[in-house]
């Protein structure tokens, strides 16, 4: 019997471009074309390689997750493994003083151990991967936080190590890229060419069938999860080298980003379908999206919205194609939901177009918005001042943003106001890198992690960009000036003076801070302790609790303090969202003998100040501070701040003192019942 | 025969924890503390009831945290715009139901895996909310907002009643109503459900929509405990909710699970946090301990299931 | 009561008429259209043309709920139960679906379910979770469901495939009772002996056409087969005398505590076909799984005289054992994978070099077996799910033949396979024996076992009750050993 193998039915073994990959390739192409046209710095080698550099850690995770998803499993713990490995690196280097080689070896071992636990539960005990890795996701992050008390930040790694994450090979290729390339090739061989890979697809399609064919299911799963831990460990080491910093919250959210990239690339979470090439496509798509959005000065949140919509769109479109394919395969059946399906797809496409349209309109509105006024360059180009808050979604920074916009309007400059949307330290770095590519005139950044940001800020200075910091400083040689709203000593003094005033006979008090890892807040706590030692010996600091800048958490912590430490008479919140939380907790507990003070915005504390629960808050005009960021940035970009000057003229703020390289906004003010209603921030 | 071994296991763990707390002589056992714990975990309980239904049908929803945040803001905006508080709460429920319906539509009718759909919605809702609010809080709410104009203790009592009603309704619905049995049937075997004439798409769509409405309700009830609404309330709560349902004995693959188990799971995971502080254990290890509990629960769950 | 029907595509103008109080059997090879017919009647699928009439009234817009309301119930080969729900709920939930009342009365459920199960002569605790039942018990629950639905039109698609002889008799008794009550039963089966025993009329389908409709009393087995296949097939088994070699497989005192196997001892020689007979649940498949490493064994197994421990399928394969499992669609092949990949799956080493698979060699291997086993498939790149049951079984067989085993265990190799392919598979088995393979043949079809095997081991309740050869291997003798009577 002669056998015809029709060319159409023959599956090419190496690169089957599935439906979803085709859509993705088309979307990727459209994306590149769009950004190249819209953002002039997009299409170039430097930008391209920077995009790649930032994708390496995520790329490693995506590559490791692909075969796991193909077997119908999942690994939610990869991000937490990155964090734990980073901590291991930090501890081994700083506390054990091991040579770098041993440090790296230990970190890899930690990564493998994390993978081994998953492998034991999932491969050995055959427990469901979703829940096991949910558990290890919580466990590993928890261990990292427990070891470092959430606070410690390891820096000071040797330059030879940092080269791995920040250096360039042959001047263009980021040093960590070859590692990703090698891993991707290795995994491609494993998945698409090797005997093991064939078994993996079988397991994903039909585990029982695979077992009956003699495929060693357990062994394969153990291998995959073990490898995943190892690769996450490598990613953690690279991330530390990249940022020059090791903290317990490194890698937060990476697991979901990696899964997004893999699913976008056509891998089905049910198993049995997917390619490594698709995952890499998905990764590149997401990285380019983020990069392009930054270069267009579009807000970071929009990237998230578009990612969510794109994910739904591509998977839906692929599903519809798959549905018609299945119908051809297994016989006809009435499709009652064709109408619903079409409606869904139409809805997704409409939402996507609407979001893209809005983005385009708001972008063009932005640049055309600011009125012509003083400050234009003679060549007719407007200054671009890029200001970065520590985190978006924080009322403190939002009110500063209002001031920044005011200054931008007054001076006729283009303001880019953007910042990270999550705790991930690398987001700030990435954004600054993009701004460097855009060749903005000034960067004014509130630094969340000075260890990692200093490096990239130095780079910006080298490229001729004026660099200032505000609210929280970097290393002095990484910036031109630091806009200090108030010195840490001044803040500490004002707070402790208020505390003394409210507890004239002395007593216990508690501090509630933001995240344990916030550098400036830790500095303030240190200064407070110094003040206590020096001048307020009758006041005792009973405890310091974190609130992660979350009002509800501050609420809970205050409740606990009131119950556990009944002698505490004062709660001092040095995180703005925490004050209302503490106030509410004190009010609800009925403890009228306890006062609440802190650093916070009048707008969110108003009801509590009027009610008397919060006696006073200490702050500076955040609006003024925001105004200053743009004004000082503008001055510095024109080199109008002479070296050695002791004061500058800051528009409507008048003359401000300059101490060395610090520009001081003023003294912190005490806000209470008497003056709160006059303030508008 | 259905055994209650898993629920008994969780109850035993809770009893053990409370015994340790009791004998350490601390002041954990006060009406005030339990009242506070209850109010703090009420949102998790309400959402967990919905999540239980979703997991029973064999699906999952990781977007509830983001839905919670958006619904809180909607409740605040509605109240500030002058709506009576009850209507504002309903608006929050309606918004939640809408989000649930969107997610449920993709899962049920387009047959896209629920983890992908809800992942996309989680990201889109969370970042969309940040974009729109830029971090601003909703302030200057009408005075009727706080505690729904009741006193704190009245409110707590009312909430306790509400929680009781919801728990009993969920348990009764699952056990004695055909709709509830259809939920279990869908998760147990989709093929058999189809043959039995159960419209599994409608069942899945309904549980997602219902969970969305419950999330909106939880968001509104949480918001009225304070006098302002922040723009990031509840982000990340999905992991806690899912953990509570799983620790309570529900099978992640669907078809098996009880309301009692979920309730116990919420109690256990809700108590661990403050218990650690009261026992003097460094609270930095809370997350690690929660992770260990989840792993232990899963291992024990499956060992029990194997024996059946 | 009458029911007529006409449909197209997989069915070309098929008309079937079912009278009240009759058992009307439908026979045909696989792919003849029987399953399609059932699906259309139950409303799971739609006919392109034609009509369905129940009691003279035409049925518009059929779907599972409508057909159930009309009194149509279907019983399939694979029980589709809810594993997490109780037996009582499994029986009652589908019955309650059409009712107006939205609440559940657990006590009445329990009562009704108990009575239904008892009426079938079974002893299943209604409070047990359905997932814990044996296959046979699950099928009984399915039948109880149908009976409970007061169905007047019963469609049975290979319902006895997983039942023991005694259970089959019980089901037949039930069918006769239902007949007397006025129900009409459409009965699909490959087991021609059963059909001739129970049916009143027989309709033969071939390639989607209705070929004949006869009274059962007027037609014989050979004639039926001829009509089904369109050609005359010798209804004898192709067993011939084969030179027997050394002992290839020997089992001494093998036990599997957890699954109830006790003290099994037998041996199989090269070239010998050793049959395993017995009731379903007696332990034959358990033995197969134990030999293949899917279940733990208590003692060693002797292969060509050497004692070996088999802990996993990989061990078994290394020792030259192959196993074609009973559940073809779940374990025998992977439906979504193409033919070539399925065939090479157990023996990837032979088509790969240094761990990397060569697609070219894989396709060549597949092509060889497609030709040898006469597998009907458009190409080796076709998804195996698209093939008919018989061809899927051949793919499963090809997979294991490719490993070149010395001992091959076949578990119900012709279950659900059409007559033409069945004969081909039987011929193949004999050829393998001729080539020196030792073959273990598990089958529930006594004629097949008797016709194909040199010796027959009869299982009862986890033990080997006796080994029969030659003249003593008669049907009554096998049955009595299988039932536990000495």
> Are the beta carbons of B196 and C86 separated by less than 8 Å?
no
How confident is the model at residue B281, as a pLDDT? 74
> How much is the mean pLDDT over chain B?
89
The ipTM of this complex is 0.88
CA distance to partner chain A, nearest, from residue B49 (Å): 18
Determine the Cα–Cα distance for residues B149 and B179; give it in Å rounded to an integer: 36
**Residues of A with CB below 8 A from B6's CB?**
none
C-beta of residue A87 within 8 angstroms of C-beta of residue A246 = yes
**Chain A residues touching residue B51 (CB < 8 angstroms):** none
Partners of A193 on chain C (C-beta within 8 Å) are 356-357
**Complete edge-to-edge strand list for the sheet that includes strand A539-546:** A539-546, A507-513, A568-573, A595-599, A614-619, A669-671
**Which residues of chain A does C345 touch, with a Cβ-Cβ cutoff of 8 Å?**
198, 202, 210, 213-215
Cβ atoms of A134 and B294 closer than 8 Å: yes
Of A10, A197, A214, the CB nearest to C381: A10
Interhelix angle B85-109/A338-369, rounded to 10 degrees, is: 120
Closest Cα in chain A, distance from residue B190 (Å): 15
Residue pairs between chains A and C whose CB atoms are closer than 8 Å:
106
Q: Is A251 left (phi over 0), alpha (psi -120 to 50) or beta?
A: left
CA gap C394, C423 in Å, rounded: 12
Of C332, C348, C359, the CB nearest to A195: C348
pLDDT score of C320: 92
pLDDT of residue A370: 36
What pTM, to 2 d.p., does this model score?
0.84
Q: Please write the tens of the pLDDT for every residue from C214-232.
A: 888 888 877 777 776 665 4
Assign C324 to helix, strand or coil: strand
> What percent of chain B has a predicted confidence (pLDDT) above 70?
97
- Distances in Å between the alpha carbon of C132 and those of B258, C84, C87, C127? 20, 9, 10, 11
CA distance B166 to B187: 22
Between the alpha carbon of residue A561 and those of residues A545, A572, A576, A602, C109, the distances in Å are: 9, 12, 19, 24, 55
Interface list for chain A against chain C, based on CB atoms closer than 8 Å: 1, 3-6, 9-11, 13, 189, 193-199, 201-202, 205-206, 208-216, 272, 329-334
| Contact list, B233 vs chain A (CB under 8 Å) | 551-552
CA distance, residue C406 to nearest chain A CA (Å) = 16
Dump the DSSP string for A508-550. Answer: EEEEEES-TT-HHHHHHHHHHHHHHHHH-TTEEEEEEEE-TT-
- The DSSP element (H or E) to which C28 belongs, if any, is strand C23-28
Which tokens hold the place of B37? 């714990």
Q: Which chains touch A (3 or more CB pairs under 8 A)?
A: B, C
> What is the reported pLDDT for A360?
65
Q: Are A620 and A493 in contact (CB under 8 A)?
A: no
H helix runs in C319-358, sequence order? 339-344
Interatomic CA distance for residues B114 and A253, integer angstroms: 19
Integer angstrom CA distances of residue A251 from A54, A302, A320: 13, 21, 34
Is residue C13 over pLDDT 80? no
Question: Coil, strand or helix: which one is C471?
Answer: helix
Cβ–Cβ gap A209/C334 under 8 Å: yes
Inter-chain touch B178–C127, beta carbons under 8 Å: no
Q: Compare all CA atoms of chain A with the CA of C327 and give the residue at the minimum distance.
A: A209
Hey, of B35, B110, B150, which one would you mutate to test binding to chain A, going by the most A CBs within 10 A of its CB? B110
pLDDT of B181 reads 94
For chain C, give the percent of residues with pLDDT over 70.
91
Q: Name every chain C residue with its beta carbon within 8 A of the beta carbon of B193.
A: 82
- Any CB–CB contact under 8 A between A543 and chain B? no
* Chains B, C: CB pairs < 8 Å: 71
Interface of B with C (CB under 8 A): 1-2, 175-179, 181, 184-185, 187-189, 191-198, 251, 255-256, 308
Q: Cβ of A11 and C346 within 8 Å?
A: no
Place of tokens 């529930």: C444
Rounded to whole angstroms, the Cα distance separating C20 from B307 reads: 47
Residue keyed to tokens 């970009």 = A637
Structure tokens at A159: 């330059």
* Sheet of strand C306-308, all strands in order from the earlier edge strand to the far edge: C261-269, C247-256, C301-303, C306-308
Whole-number pLDDT of residue A358 = 66
Nearest CA in chain C to A212: C331
Chain C interface with B: residues with Cβ < 8 Å: 44, 64-65, 68, 74, 80-86, 89, 93-94, 96-98, 101-104, 106, 125, 127-129, 132
- C36-68 pLDDT, tens digit per residue, is 788 778 877 777 777 788 887 887 777 777 787
Interface probe for B, chosen from A270, A313, A393 (most Cβ of B below 10 Å), is A393
Q: Is the pLDDT of residue C21 over 90?
A: no
Cα separation, B156 vs B164, in Å, equals: 12
**CB neighbours (10 Å) of residue C97?**
18
Q: What angle do CA B139, B141, B146 make, to 5 degrees?
A: 115
Strand extents, DSSP E, C72-160: 72-75, 153-157
CB–CB of A135/B294 below 8 Å? yes
3-state secondary structure of B64: helix
User: Measured in whole angstroms, how far is the alpha carbon of residue B100 from the centre of its chain?
Assistant: 14
CB–CB contact B195 C64 (8 Å): yes
How many angstroms away from the CA of A197 is the closest CA of chain C? 9
Radius of gyration of chain A (CA): 28
- Comparing CA positions, the residue from C149, C218, C160, C225 lying closest to residue C189 is C160
Give the burial string for A170-186 (b: 16+ CB within 10 Å, else e).
eeebbbbbebbeebbee
Q: What per-residue confidence (pLDDT) applies to A1?
A: 40
| pLDDT recorded at residue A302 | 87
Q: Do A305 and B128 touch (CB under 8 A)?
A: yes
Q: Give dist(CA C159, CA C16) in Å, integer.
A: 20
pLDDT of residue A338: 57
Which residues of chain A fall short of a pLDDT of 70? 1-19, 150, 323-349, 351-352, 355-356, 358-380
pLDDT, one tens digit per residue, over C421-441 is 888 899 999 999 999 999 999
> Which SS3 state, helix, strand or coil, does residue B233 take?
coil
Tell me, rounded to whole angstroms, the distance of Cα C189 from its chain centroid.
10
Chain B residues lying within 8 Å of C103, measured CB to CB: 176-178
Locate C245 and state its tokens: 């070699």
Q: Is A132 on the interface with B (CB under 8 A)?
A: yes
Mean pLDDT by 10 residues, chain B (308 residues): 81 89 78 86 96 96 95 93 90 96 93 91 91 84 83 88 96 94 94 87 96 96 89 84 92 92 94 80 80 86 62
Would you call B230 and A559 a contact, using CB atoms and an 8 Å cutoff? no
The candidate with the shortest Cα–Cα distance to B52, out of B266, B202, B306, is B266
Is residue A154 within 8 A of residue A89, CB to CB? The reply is yes
Task: Provide the pLDDT for residue A150.
Answer: 67
- List Cα–Cα distances, C103 to A33, B178, B180, B182, C96, in angstroms: 59, 6, 9, 12, 10
Q: For residues C449-470, b (16+ Cβ closer than 10 Å) or e, as one string? A: bbbbbbbbbbbbbbbbbbbbee
- Average pLDDT of the segment spanning C242-253: 88
Is pLDDT at C331 greater than 50 in this prediction?
yes
pLDDT at B299: 83
Residue A243: strand pairing partners: none
Given A136, A301, A545, which is nearest B291 (Cβ)? A136
- Count CB-CB contacts under 10 A for residue B5: 15
CB nearest A329 (choices: C325, C374, C385): C385
Is B105 in contact with A344 (CB distance < 8 Å)? yes
Check B127 against A577: CB less than 8 A apart.
no
Q: How confident is the model at residue A57, as a pLDDT?
A: 93
In sequence order, the β-bridge partners of residue B92 are none
- Within 8 A of A401 by CB-CB distance, chain B residues are 134
Q: What are C111-150's pLDDT values in tens digits?
A: 999 988 887 777 888 999 998 887 778 877 888 888 787 7
* Distance, CA of A583 to CA of A613 (rounded, Å): 6
Picking from C380, C355, C417, C444, the residue whose alpha carbon sits closest to that of residue C189 is C417
Residues of chain C contacting residue B185, judged by C-beta atoms under 8 Å apart: 82, 85, 93
Instruction: Establish if A606 touches chain B: CB-CB under 8 angstroms.
Output: yes
């Amino acid at each position: 019997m002669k056998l015809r193998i029709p060319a159409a039915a023959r599956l090419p073994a190496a690169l089957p471009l599935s439906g979803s990959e085709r859509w993705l390739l088309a979307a990727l192409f459209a994306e590149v074309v769009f950004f190249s046209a819209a953002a002039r710095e997009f299409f170039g080698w430097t930008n391209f390689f920077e995009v790649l550099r930032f994708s390496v850690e995520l790329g490693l995770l995506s590559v490791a997750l692909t075969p796991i998803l193909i077997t119908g499993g999942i690994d939610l713990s990869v991000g937490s493994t990155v964090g734990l490995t980073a901590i291991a690196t930090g501890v081994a280097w700083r506390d054990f003083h091991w040579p770098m080689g041993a440090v790296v070896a230990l970190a890899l071992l930690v990564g493998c151990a994390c993978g081994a636990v998953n492998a034991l539960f999932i491969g050995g005990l055959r427990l469901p991967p979703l829940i096991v890795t949910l558990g290890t996701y919580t466990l590993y992050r928890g261990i990292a936080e427990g070891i470092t008390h959430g606070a410690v930040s390891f820096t000071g790694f040797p330059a030879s190590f940092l080269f791995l994450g920040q250096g360039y090979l042959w001047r263009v290729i980021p040093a960590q890229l070859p590692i990703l390339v090698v891993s991707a090739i290795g995994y491609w061989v494993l998945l698409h060419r090797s005997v093991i890979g064939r078994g993996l697809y079988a397991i994903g399609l039909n585990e029982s069938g695979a077992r009956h064919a003699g495929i060693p299911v357990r062994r394969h799963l153990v291998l995959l999860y073990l490898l995943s831990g190892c690769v996450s460990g490598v990613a953690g080491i690279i991330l530390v080298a990249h940022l020059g910093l090791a903290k317990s919250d490194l890698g937060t959210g990476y697991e979901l980003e990696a899964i997004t990239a893999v699913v976008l690339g056509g891998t089905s979470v049910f198993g049995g379908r997917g390619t490594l090439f698709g995952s890499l496509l998905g990764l590149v798509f997401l990285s380019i999206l983020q990069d392009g959005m930054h270069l267009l000065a579009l807000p970071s949140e929009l990237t998230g919205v578009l990612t969510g919509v794109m994910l739904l769109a591509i998977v839906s479109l692929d599903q519809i194609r798959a549905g018609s394919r299945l119908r051809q395969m297994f016989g006809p059946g009435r499709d009652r939901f064709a109408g619903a399906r079409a409606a869904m797809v139409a809805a997704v496409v409409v939402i996507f177009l609407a979001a893209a349209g809005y983005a385009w309109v708001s972008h063009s509105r932005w640049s055309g918005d600011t009125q012509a006024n003083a400050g234009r360059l003679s060549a007719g180009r407007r200054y671009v001042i890029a200001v970065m808050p520590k985190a978006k979604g924080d009322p403190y920074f939002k009110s500063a943003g209002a001031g920044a916009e005011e200054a931008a309007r007054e001076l006729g400059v283009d303001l880019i106001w953007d910042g990270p949307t999550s705790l991930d330290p690398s987001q700030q770095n990435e954004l600054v890198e993009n701004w460097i590519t855009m060749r903005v005139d000034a960067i004014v950044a509130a630094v969340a992690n000075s260890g990692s940001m200093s490096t990239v800020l130095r780079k910006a200075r080298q490229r001729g960009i004026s660099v200032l910091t505000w609210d929280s400083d970097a290393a002095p040689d990484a910036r031109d000036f630091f806009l200090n709203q108030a010195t840490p000593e001044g803040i500490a003094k004002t707070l402790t003076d208020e505390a003394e005033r409210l507890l004239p006979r002395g007593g216990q008090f508690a501090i509630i801070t933001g995240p344990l890892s916030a550098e400036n807040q830790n500095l303030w706590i240190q200064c407070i302790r110094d003040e206590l030692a020096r001048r307020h010996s009758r006041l005792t600091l009973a405890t310091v609790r974190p609130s992660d800048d979350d009002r509800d958490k501050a609420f809970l912590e205050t409740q606990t303090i009131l119950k556990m430490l009944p002698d505490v008479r004062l709660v001092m919140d040095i995180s703005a969202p925490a004050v209302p939380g503490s106030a509410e907790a004190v009010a609800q507990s009925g403890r009228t003998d306890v006062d609440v003070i802190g650093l916070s915005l009048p707008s969110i504390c108003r009801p509590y100040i009027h009610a008397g629960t919060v006696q006073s808050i200490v702050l500076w005009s955040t609006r003024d501070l925001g105004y200053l960021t743009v004004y000082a940035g503008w001055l510095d970009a024109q080199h109008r701040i002479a070296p050695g000057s002791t004061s500058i003229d800051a528009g409507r703020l008048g003359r401000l003192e300059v101490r060395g390289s610090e520009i001081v906004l003023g003294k912190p003010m005490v806000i209470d019942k008497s003056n709160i209603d006059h303030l508008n921030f | 025969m259905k055994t209650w071994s898993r629920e008994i296991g969780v109850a035993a763990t809770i009893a053990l924890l409370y015994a340790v707390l009791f004998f350490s002589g601390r002041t954990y056992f006060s009406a005030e503390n339990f009242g506070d714990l209850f109010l703090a975990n009420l949102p998790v309980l309400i959402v967990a009831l919905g999540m239980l239904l979703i997991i029973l049908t064999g699906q999952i929803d990781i977007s509830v945290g983001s839905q919670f945040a958006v619904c809180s803001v909607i409740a605040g905006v509605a109240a500030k715009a002058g709506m009576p508080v009850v209507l504002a709460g309903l608006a929050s429920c309606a918004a939640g139901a809408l989000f649930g319906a969107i997610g449920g539509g993709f899962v049920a009718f387009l047959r896209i895996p629920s983890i992908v759909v809800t992942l996309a919605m989680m990201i889109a809702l969370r970042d969309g909310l940040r974009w729109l609010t830029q971090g601003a809080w909703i302030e200057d709410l009408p005075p009727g907002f706080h505690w729904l104009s009741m006193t704190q203790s009245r409110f707590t009592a009312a909430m306790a009643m509400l929680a009781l009603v919801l728990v009993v309704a969920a348990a009764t619905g699952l056990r004695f109503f055909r709709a509830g049995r259809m939920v279990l049937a869908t998760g147990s075997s989709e093929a058999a459900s189809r043959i039995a004439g159960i419209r599994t798409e409608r069942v899945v769509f309904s549980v997602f929509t219902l969970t969305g409405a419950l999330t909106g309700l939880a968001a509104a009830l949480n918001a009225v405990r304070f006098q302002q609404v922040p723009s990031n309330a509840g982000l990340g709560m999905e992991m806690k909710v899912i953990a509570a349902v799983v620790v309570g004995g529900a099978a992640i693959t669907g078809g098996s699970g009880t309301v009692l188990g979920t309730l116990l799971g919420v109690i256990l995971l809700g108590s661990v946090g403050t218990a650690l502080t009261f026992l003097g254990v460094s609270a930095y290890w809370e997350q690690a301990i929660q992770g260990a509990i989840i792993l232990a629960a899963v291992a024990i769950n499956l060992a029990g299931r194997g024996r059946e | 009561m009458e029911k007529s029907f006409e449909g197209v595509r997989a069915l070309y103008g098929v008309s079937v008429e079912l009278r009240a109080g009759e058992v009307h059997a439908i026979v045909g090879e696989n792919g003849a259209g029987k399953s399609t017919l059932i699906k259309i009647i139950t409303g799971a699928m739609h006919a392109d043309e034609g009509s369905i009439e129940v009691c003279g009234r035409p049925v518009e817009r059929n779907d599972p709920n409508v057909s159930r309301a009309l009194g149509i119930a279907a019983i399939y080969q694979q029980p589709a139960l809810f594993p997490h729900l109780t037996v009582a709920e499994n029986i009652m939930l589908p019955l309650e679906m059409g009712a107006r009342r939205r609440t559940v009365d657990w006590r009445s459920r329990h009562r009704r379910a108990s009575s239904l199960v008892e009426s079938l002569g079974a002893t299943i605790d209604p409070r047990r979770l359905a997932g814990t039942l044996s296959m046979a018990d699950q099928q009984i629950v399915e039948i109880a469901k149908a009976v409970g639905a007061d169905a007047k039109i019963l469609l049975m698609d290979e319902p006895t495939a997983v039942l023991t002889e005694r259970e089959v008799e019980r089901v037949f008794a039930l069918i006769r009772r239902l007949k007397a009550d006025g129900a009409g039963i459409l009965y699909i089966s490959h087991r021609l002996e059963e059909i001739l025993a129970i049916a009143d009329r027989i309709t033969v389908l071939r390639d989607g056409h209705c070929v004949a409709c006869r009274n059962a009393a007027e037609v014989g087995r050979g004639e039926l087969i001829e009509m089904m296949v369109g050609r005359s097939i010798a209804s004898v088994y192709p067993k011939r005398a084969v030179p027997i070699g050394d002992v290839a497989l020997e089992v001494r005192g093998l036990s599997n505590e957890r699954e109830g196997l006790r003290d099994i001892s037998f041996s199989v020689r090269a070239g010998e076909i050793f049959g395993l007979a017995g009731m379903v649940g007696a332990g034959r498949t358990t033995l197969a799984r134990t030999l293949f490493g899917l279940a733990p064994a208590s003692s060693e197994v002797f292969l060509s005289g050497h004692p070996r421990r088999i802990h996993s399928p990989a061990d078994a394969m290394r020792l030259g054992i192959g196993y074609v499992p009973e559940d073809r669609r779940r374990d025998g092949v992977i439906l979504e994978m193409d033919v070539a990949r399925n065939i090479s799956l157990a023996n990837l080493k032979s088509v790969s070099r240094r761990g990397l698979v060569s697609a070219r060699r894989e396709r060549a291997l597949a092509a060889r077996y497609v030709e040898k086993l006469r597998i009907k498939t458009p190409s080796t790149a076709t998804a195996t799910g698209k093939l008919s049951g018989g061809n899927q079984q051949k793919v499963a067989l090809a997979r294991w033949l490719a490993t070149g085993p010395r001992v091959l265990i076949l578990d119900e190799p012709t279950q659900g396979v059409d007559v033409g392919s069945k004969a081909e598979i039987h011929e193949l088995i004999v050829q393998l024996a001729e080539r020196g393979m030792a073959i273990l043949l598990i089958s529930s079809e006594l004629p097949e076992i008797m016709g194909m095997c040199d010796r027959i081991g009869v299982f009862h309740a986890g033990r080997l009750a006796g080994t029969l050869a030659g003249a003593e291997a008669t049907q009554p003798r096998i049955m009595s050993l299988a039932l536990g009577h000495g």
